[in-house]
Structure 1
Amino acid sequence: MSDEITFDQFMAVDIRVGTVTRAEDFPEARKPAIKLWVDFGGEIGERKSSAQITAHYAPDTLIGKQVIGVVNFPPRQIGPMRSEVLILGLHDEAGGVVLLSPDKPVPNGERMC
C-alpha cells in the first residue's frame, strides 16, 4: 500500500475522460506501444499519448473508445513523440494493460469525481 495523501493532494491530479480520435502503431518506442490522439473536450482539446497497450488493443479498435487520463502532468518525450497526457489502465494477470474507461458514455472533458 502507498503512503496516505490528503484530499487536496488527490484533487490536484486532474483526471478526465476523452475519446480516442486517432491511433497508430508506434514502432519507434522501446517497448511496444500505440500512439493515441484523445479529444478531452473544449476546455482541454486534443492531446497525444503513447500507451503500452498492445497486449489487448490494436489501433483500429481504439477509435471512438472513451479513456481516462491525467491531463495535468508535464509533457514527456517518448522517442520522436511528445506525450501530453497519461492514459490510465490496470495490469491483468499476464502483465498486459487494460484501459480504464467509463461503462456508460459521458461528455469529453468530464473530470473524475
Structure 2
Amino acid sequence: MSDQIEFDQFMAVDIRVGTITRAEDFPEARKPAIKLWVDFGGEIGERKSSAQIKVHYTPEALVGKQVIGVVNFPPRQIGPVMSEVLVLGLHDEGGGVVLLSPDKPVPNGERMC
C-alpha cells in the first residue's frame, strides 16, 4: 500500500476525459508506442501524448475513443515528441496497458469527481 496523502494533494491532480482525435505509430520510441492527440475540450484543447499501448491497440482503433488523462503535469520530451498529457491505464496480467475510459460518453474536459 502507498503512503496516505491528504485530500488536497489528490485534488491538485487535474484528471480529465478527452477524445482521441488522431493516433500514429511512434517508431522512434525506445519501447513500442503510439503518438496520441487528445481533445480535452475548449478550456484545455488538444494535447499530445506518447503511450506504450501497442499490445492492445492500433492507431486506427483509437480514434474516437474517450480516455482519462492528467492534464496538469509539465510537458515531457519523449524522443522527438513533447508529451503534454499523461494518458492513464492499467497493466493486465501480461504487462500490457489497458487504457482507462468512461463506460458512457461524457463531455470532453469533464474533471474526475
| Class of the TM-score when normalised by the shorter of the 2 chains | over 0.9
| Consecutive aligned runs of 4 or more in structure 1 exceeding 2 Å deviation | none
| CA distances 1:55-93 after superposition (whole Å, capped 9, x unpaired) | 000000000000000000000000000000000000000
Question: TM-score scaled to structure 1, two decimals?
Answer: 1.00
Instruction: Provide the aligned C-alpha RMSD in A.
Output: 0.2
| Identity, % of aligned positions | 88
Once residues 28 and 16 of structure 1 are traced to their aligned partners in structure 2, the CA distance between those partners, rounded to angstroms, is 28
| CA distances 1:25-74 after superposition (whole Å, capped 9, x unpaired) | 00000000000000000000000000000000000000000000000000
Give unpaired runs (5+ residues) of structure 2.
none
SS at match of 2:10: helix
Q: Which residue of 2 aligns with 1:20?
A: 20
Does 1:58 pair with 2:65? no
Q: 1:12-51 residue pairs with structure 2 within 5 A? A: 12-51=12-51
Aligned length: 113
Once residues 112 and 23 of structure 1 are traced to their aligned partners in structure 2, the CA distance between those partners, rounded to angstroms, is 24
Does 1:93 pair with 2:85? no
